[in-house]
Structure 1
Amino acid sequence: MKIYNDLSQYNSTNKTFVTIGTFDGVHVGHQKVIKKLIKSANKKNATSLLLTFFPHPRMVLQKDIDIKLINTIDERIQLLEKIGLEEIVIQPFTEDFSKLTALDFVRKILVNTLNISKLIIGYDHHFGKNREGNFEQLEEYGHTYDFGVNEISQKDIDNISVSSTKIRTAIENGEIEKANNFLGYYFILTGEVVSGNNLGEKIGFPTANLRIKETYKLLPKTGAYLVKSELNSKTVFGMMNIGFRPTVSGKNQTIEIHFFDFKANLYGQKIQVEVVSFLRDEQKFESIEALQQQLKKDKEKSLKLINDIF
């Protein structure tokens, strides 16, 4: 997949089939749109292309710096590549960019820059300054500039009954299985393994402490989770705790993963963890020994889930 980090970098002369959006989560609904785009483009020997934006428009226009995203931009790219998309343009979203009129957006970007042959969009798509552009205008511009417009019907979208907002809510509530069902894959966390206080090792449950640099990345609610990862070309399961470690009076939120039957040193490595299932809420124990006993129960529950699911 070719990646362009700005519209100004785009230089292909091939005709394109385009869809537009933030596509946070790349959930089953998004996947349906992308697969339709790829299939349609292949029939006409055109290039399948997604025009997406970063940062999220709400972060810029509403100064909504508290919005958390299901995927980091790198995770989004990884997921789109897996589906088979040929090109992605990640346009930096700014206030100036948001002021483009609907006509300028079509003429300058879709026609003159992306060499569009067909646009595939959802039924409620709006674009341009103040979201003034709609499907009817796109059809008019399509006649003027010689490109087709294919609207995915409300019926098709509603049949999927999924949205990025629903998924964010499920993740925030610890309903990770529900979120995974909407996503069509296991929710992922990507970060660097950093050093911790080694308490886990002292009680027989050594952990990899995950640091996620992207502050906008959505995290599940505090608690314990069953996870899986690819480490050194091997599938490894484990249990993850997200929280403040109240038993030892922790002050900062941490992400700690105890991998089963895995000994290698991961410090400094970037790893990706798939969150499979919710185990329990975070809780404060009377002693380190009580915590240790609970971790043994968590492991037993995890191993049973692994056996049932995989």
Structure 2
Amino acid sequence: MFYTPSREEQRSAITIGKFDGLHLGHQMLVNEMVKRGKQENLRSVVCVMDFEPLWKEKDITPKLLMTKDERERRLKGKVDEVLNLPFDKEFRELTPEEFVREIIFKKLKAKYVVVGEDFHFGFQKAGNVEVLKSLENKYGYKTVVVVKKKYKNHIISSTYIKELITEGRVSTANKLLGYSYGFSGEVMRGNRIGRTLGFPTINVYPHKYKLLPPFGVYFNKVKLDGKWYPGIGNLGVKPTVMADSDVLIESFLFSYEGNAYGKQVEIELKKFQREEIKFESLEKMKERVDFDIREGKEYFTNR
């Protein structure tokens, strides 16, 4: 029997996946879901498979394109809800039909379920698009399958984008993400050497789960107090002035004057400039950084 909700219940349009990076392929799923939600006054819900319980259980440190906070910021104002589904033992032992009944039917009251062609769910990934479609009439929803988006014969996927970033091909990765890859976090106090050399920097430690591109200097933009500032940033361990330090990104902003310590910032990497270098002296480092700053200013002026 086809399920009909009571008048008090608001049905939903949902999409389900890992959504690591919210790249252009993911955005197609979200856009399709939002469109159907608006057409029929449905709640739009992005359901994210949250693997953190499994990572902690197995002592795994993943390398991700996006943290939970970054994903929620990017979806804010676009969807009604972002629902993290903890991938704990109880959840991952749900059969495909139990998943549909407990999550899609009871919890979310879904009318539309928007997924990609390769969507799998349930214990040992036994559920797929065909299984999802076979349960439609029983649980009162419609499956909407979105075809994979491609870029130059490559399927746009989190895996492929991670390969690009690992290789330092940040500009290409940004095209597939639909925005610029980067980091977010609190500005921490550094050793203030940059300030003494004439280019004070803001220092941010990347989240432990974030995928790191090659160490080096990048042209970047930093969002601080609601405003974007162009600049250059060094991602790495500052080998000229420190040994065995934690990885951080320190950015010099071309047009910012003020105290940023303790503030939350977002950093976007625009273009890889050069590898991180251990200079023989601070004077040599300053010469090269001055050159990088000139190149960075020219890069942003031309854009």
For normalisation by structure 2, the TM-score amounts to 0.91
Give the superposition deviation at 1:178: 1.0
From 59, 64, 75, the equivalent of 1:69 is 64
Give the superposition deviation at 1:228: 1.0
From 257, 279, 282, the equivalent of 2:276 is 282
For normalisation by structure 1, the TM-score amounts to 0.89
Structure 1 residues 135 and 254 mapped into 2: Cα distance closer, same or farther (>3 Å)?
Answer: closer
> 1 or 2, which has the higher helix percentage?
1
Give the superposition deviation at 1:60: 6.4
- Which position in structure 2 is the counterpart of 1:201? 195
- Which position in structure 1 is the counterpart of 2:111? 117
In the alignment, structure 1 residue 42 sits paired with structure 2 residue 38:
yes
Unaligned 5+ segments in structure 2 are 1-7
CA-based RMSD: 2.0
Quick one: distance in 2 between partners of 1:301 and 1:52?
40
Give the superposition deviation at 1:40: 1.4
Unaligned 5+ segments in structure 1 are 1-11
Quick one: distance in 1 between partners of 2:237 and 2:229?
25
Checking the alignment, whether the CA contact within 8 Å between 1:29 and 1:160 is kept in structure 2 is no
- Which position in structure 2 is the counterpart of 1:191? 185
Give the superposition deviation at 1:15: 0.6
- Which position in structure 2 is the counterpart of 1:265? 259
Size of the aligned set, in residue pairs, is 294
Checking the alignment, whether the CA contact within 8 Å between 1:171 and 1:220 is kept in structure 2 is yes
Residue 69 of structure 1: SS of its match in structure 2? coil
Residue 190 of structure 2: SS of its match in structure 1? coil
From 157, 161, 169, the equivalent of 1:167 is 161
Quick one: distance in 2 between partners of 1:232 and 1:45?
35
In the alignment, structure 1 residue 230 sits paired with structure 2 residue 220:
no
From 123, 129, 135, the equivalent of 1:129 is 123
Quick one: distance in 2 between partners of 1:210 and 1:249?
16
Checking the alignment, whether the CA contact within 8 Å between 2:49 and 2:84 is kept in structure 1 is yes
Quick one: distance in 2 between partners of 1:291 and 1:234?
29
- Which position in structure 1 is the counterpart of 2:74? 79
Q: Percent identity?
A: 34
String of CA shifts for 1:182-215, please: whole Å, max 9, x gaps: 1101113111111111111111111111133x31
Q: Greater shift after overlay, 238-247 or 249-258? A: 249-258
In the alignment, structure 1 residue 215 sits paired with structure 2 residue 208:
yes
What are the within-5 Å matches in structure 2 for residues 128-147 of structure 1? Answer: 128-147=122-141
Structure 1 residues 286 and 60 mapped into 2: Cα distance closer, same or farther (>3 Å)?
Answer: closer
Give the superposition deviation at 1:88: 1.6
Quick one: distance in 1 between partners of 2:256 and 2:113?
48
In the alignment, structure 1 residue 30 sits paired with structure 2 residue 26:
yes
Q: Greater shift after overlay, 277-286 or 246-255? A: 246-255
Residue 291 of structure 1: SS of its match in structure 2? helix
